[in-house]
Amino acid sequence: MNAIMPLKNIRVLDLTRLLPGPYCTQLLADFGAEVIKVEEPELGDYARWGEPKIGEYKAIFSSINRNKKSITLNFKKSEDKESFIEIVKTSDVLVESFRPNVMERLGLDYETLKKVNPRLVYCAITGFGQNGPYKDKSGHDINYLSIAGLLQFSGEKGNKPIPPPTQIADIGGGSLMAAVGILTALLGRDQTGKGQFVDISMTDGVLSWMQTILPDYLAGLDKHKGELRLSGGKAAYSAYETADNRYLAVGALESKFWKEFCQGIERLDFIPLLEAPFEEQQKLKREIEQIIKKKTLDDWMEVFGLLDACVSPVLLLEETLNHPQIKARNMIIETQDNELGKLKYIGIPIKLSDTPGQIRSRAPKLGEHNEEILGKL
């Protein structure tokens, strides 16, 4: 393992649970930050419990809490609050995902903690942010997608919206925005000597992702479900069913790729139709569906293996894990744990040439590091 890690001198207090916060702090931990999960005694992070398990804990918990430590504190006890404040004094970052004002009621809000540690970067991840009429509302990924306006565009025209199979708001709007915000605030601290409050709204994050939709709408072009260029509006950008009930993903948006695709399906008459109006695009899609349905996925991949057409198979998870590109990028990592044996993890998506991220330890047991951390106070 590399001795140098870019965040090795950064201590992070992680008060979050479930997905958005823990995924954010996992990114920091993978690059050397000391991430201390502060959990409620006995219950801890809700994501610990459930099936399927890796060792004692649920698989998702084991995945997104690697490289971390765990301590247990009960903030209703004055001695535990005092211990927490002592740890804050030596910490660089605090991440929490409670509703606004919860930490204030506990006497552990940013305004209070910055008095004991002015260099603290305090990040709050919430559904709707720290202000506005929705700030105290509860919600989940689907609610943030709906308020941001993204959910209305999911699925096919005339059908109900379909929730995405992965959590766009939690991870894209929450985890990633929080990680960027924290790292930016740490860089700012190098210049000012002071930390700051990082206010992350998952709804804000989702809305900011809508770069292929909102700018056009703000410029006066109305948008409708099923008609978006990259979501049902173009025959050149779609998935088509094959003869063996598999699917072929086509992303031939540019003319050079579209020309190659049309050559592959032996319909050169389609080449001038790349930018045809919506109704003609739908007719074109139906014709392409009939063509693709005549051959198996393997047959089509043999055809397009010789063409540069932005065509790929829609893989099953087993196929993804064994795909040479995924293996080459080391996106599934196998480690050896003294207690649990071989463990497989999703790899590190951020590749640094000199100080790469590492998987150093499994997810911690509840309160596993109480003695190591609290015993020093």
Active site (catalytic) residues: 140, 170
CA distances from 150 to 21, 138, 170, 177, 216 (A): 22, 19, 14, 17, 14
In 3D space, the residue among 328, 250, 330 whose CA is nearest the CA of residue 289 turns out to be 250
CA distances from 331 to 25, 271, 356 (A): 19, 37, 13
Measured from the Cβ of residue 151, the count of other Cβ atoms closer than 10 Å reads 22
Contact between residue 110 and residue 101 where contact means Cβ atoms under 8 Å apart:
no
Three-state SS at 247: strand
Cβ–Cβ < 8 Å for 200, 125: yes
Q: What CA–CA distance (Å, rounded) separates 164 from 140?
A: 13
Residue whose token pair is 């086509």: 250
H runs (alpha helix) in the chain: 20-30, 59-64, 78-88, 102-106, 110-116, 141-148, 176-192, 202-209, 214-218, 255-264, 278-292, 297-304, 317-321, 324-328, 370-374
- Token pair of 248 as six digits: 């072929």
Buried b / exposed e along 96-112 (16+ C-beta atoms within 10 A): bbbebeebeeeebbbee
- The C-alpha torsion from 10 through 15 and 18 to 22, rounded to 10°, is 0
The Cα 95–Cα 186 span in angstroms is 13
Q: How far is CA 211 from CA 148, 206, 233, 342, in A?
A: 12, 10, 16, 42
